[in-house]
Amino acid sequence: MGRPRGRVVRAYIGLGANVGDAPATLAAAVHALDGLAGCRVRAVSRLYATTPVGVPDQPDFRNAVVAMDVAVPDGPSPDAAASSLLVRLKDLERGFGRRQRYRWGPREVDLDLLVFGRHRISVARPEGGQSDDPAKAGLPLTVPHVEAGRRLFVLAPLEDLAPRLVPPGWGERVASAAARQRALEGAGAATPIATWDGAGWRSIG
């Protein structure tokens, strides 16, 4: 497995799926992330069953968040480093069979770059980093993820790992944002169902 050397940035990656054996896919995705050159998974949130957003007539999602250290070579800007990571995330999605579908529709797997250290980034997406969501075609890579602070399926697992984190531009802690979204969406919109044991998911209860 790749291990970060030199300058390191803590990134948070959101994982989601609701097609096929979603927990197995997300477990495999965690291991794949840990296998990326120059990267090391440091922590994995609980696995959540979450209510679909936007298109309710589909299976519930399974969501988690990974905290990952990413080696950043001297020279490249944060924009370039984040863009490079995005390309690798999209490569992994395609490797797991991600297909182009409509916005908010079913997903074999989503791997979203939520936070990249203390950097605020908005740049054109690099070749190979385009979204498979037609509604997002042409939109820039924006980090922190533009919708993360308004989605309990992101905030609940992110809170497991970094409740006191204040992502750049948010002006509030992750825990505060999660509490607000629970009040809006209802606690049942994101229910923890498993914990990560280092190899895979272990059911809660």
**What are the pLDDT digits (tens) for 138-152?**
667 788 988 899 999
Please give the model's pTM, rounded to 2 decimal places.
0.88
Domain range for residue 93?
Answer: 8-203
- In DSSP terms, 121 is beta-bridged to 143
Q: Residue 190: exposed, middle, or buried by beta-carbon count in 10 A (0-12, 13-18, 19+)?
A: buried
**Among 22, 141, 162, residue whose Cα is nearest residue 81:** 141
Domain-located, residue 158: yes
The tally of domains found in the chain comes to 1
CATH number at residue 108: 3.30.70.560
Domain-located, residue 54: yes
Domain-located, residue 3: no
Which active-site residues does the annotation give? 98, 107, 110, 112
**What are the pLDDT digits (tens) for 157-189?**
999 999 999 999 999 999 999 999 999 999 899
Domain-located, residue 2: no
Domain-located, residue 190: yes
Q: What angle do CA 108, 39, 23 make, to 5 degrees?
A: 30
